[in-house]
Structure 1
């Protein structure tokens, strides 16, 4: 399975179009959007559309710039899947996730983040490859060296240690660009 993962589009339609072109050029099977698709929920227009127009399957989670309702709306409008608290299977690969962050407009407690990951992991726990999708990064990782403003999530750290995903996809930290 070939995946294009991105996050923090922040309502920039030109970024969505460029990523969709890349997804088509690289012939990816799945596009994963790791939150902050909008900028403070100001616009949802055509942020998923470019991927769908290229025939790409899209899964997404909310970041700290959109609510669960907005992520659900985007998923429903474009035929995407909102992984927040859920999972999908693609052959022997399972993706499970939790959006939001420990700061921002859409804030969750560390326990809520962990519980959502635990719930979503349950249906893919026996698959060969498991990919965890979050918006914020786990605590105590090298990515924290890039930012003084955004601490990692202890709930995600706990989930990584408990579920041992093969891959963790996250975004949130712009300073790492």
Structure 2
């Protein structure tokens, strides 16, 4: 008899809006929670703690990373909780690993968690180099890959990261979770990599990540 699938609930762009956490189905039953970034809005005092408590009260197994709207204190807090995914990785199942890189490339708004394309590329490659052997990879990034349906803003421009796209093209992770561009909720692909942007959490979007009979899969969901 095959084992029951293991599932993770993934979302991002919380921006301190927590009502949706109570509405997420199956959160207690999930193996864990993955947050792609933007837990706060410029990380005022006590903000990341409130976000953490809201999620932790329903599922204590959390992996999360800072987005462009989070200051470095978010990463430090997550490290203290052994939950940081930014420039880190974990093994979800034998042969199946998850790695994360948060932040975003520069925006017109001068947000605190911005890095250059060169830094983004370095973070991605350096983290990947430490992974060791794996059979399947779940990549968690905050910034969306450039020139997909997931990085389009209201005026039709593609504003995602070219470094993220180049990394996906090169390494072809099975599943990619991203966010950052609130208005581009959806699913796309680059090569064999399936890419998901659930949109802003307050809009009710999330991704159900599963491992069933040794295969990594994901589905875009809506509350």
Correspondent of 2:118 among 111, 118, 126: 111
TM-score by length of 1: 0.86
In the alignment, the residues of structure 1 paired with residue 10 and residue 125 of structure 2 have an alpha-carbon distance, to the nearest angstrom, of 22
> Pairwise mapping of residues 43-54 of structure 1 onto structure 2 (< 5 A)?
43-54=47-58
Confirm whether residue 120 of structure 1 aligns to residue 161 of structure 2: no
Q: CA shift at 1:147, angstroms? A: 3.9
Gaps of 5+ in 2: 1-5, 186-198, 200-223
Q: CA shift at 1:31, angstroms? A: 0.6
Confirm whether residue 36 of structure 1 aligns to residue 38 of structure 2: yes
3-state SS, counterpart of residue 144 of structure 1? coil
Confirm whether residue 141 of structure 1 aligns to residue 165 of structure 2: no
Q: CA shift at 1:83, angstroms? A: 1.2
3-state SS, counterpart of residue 159 of structure 2? coil
Q: CA shift at 1:22, angstroms? A: 4.0
Correspondent of 1:90 among 73, 92, 95: 92
3-state SS, counterpart of residue 94 of structure 1? strand
Cα RMSD, aligned residues only: 2.0
Gaps of 5+ in 1: none
The residue number in structure 2 matching 1:170 is 178
> Could you report, residue by residue, the CA deviation over 1:1-59 in whole angstroms, capped at 9, with x for unpaired residues?
3111100110112233434x6412xx211211010100121322321223322343111
Q: Work out whether residues 121 and 163 of structure 1, in 8 Å CA contact, stay in contact via their aligned partners in 2.
A: no
In the alignment, the residues of structure 2 paired with residue 62 and residue 150 of structure 1 have an alpha-carbon distance, to the nearest angstrom, of 22
Q: Work out whether residues 6 and 32 of structure 1, in 8 Å CA contact, stay in contact via their aligned partners in 2.
A: yes
Q: CA shift at 1:70, angstroms? A: 1.8
3-state SS, counterpart of residue 88 of structure 1? strand
The residue number in structure 2 matching 1:5 is 10
Higher-strand-fraction structure = 2
In the alignment, the residues of structure 2 paired with residue 134 and residue 82 of structure 1 have an alpha-carbon distance, to the nearest angstrom, of 13
| Distance change in 2, residues 1:150/1:14 (3 Å) | farther
Q: CA shift at 1:132, angstroms? A: 0.6
Q: Work out whether residues 62 and 100 of structure 1, in 8 Å CA contact, stay in contact via their aligned partners in 2.
A: yes
Report which of the two structures shows the higher radius of gyration computed on alpha carbons: 2
| Distance change in 2, residues 1:116/1:38 (3 Å) | same
Higher-helix-fraction structure = 1
In the alignment, the residues of structure 1 paired with residue 42 and residue 103 of structure 2 have an alpha-carbon distance, to the nearest angstrom, of 13
Q: Work out whether residues 104 and 115 of structure 2, in 8 Å CA contact, stay in contact via their aligned partners in 1.
A: yes
3-state SS, counterpart of residue 114 of structure 2? coil
Correspondent of 2:159 among 151, 155, 158: 151
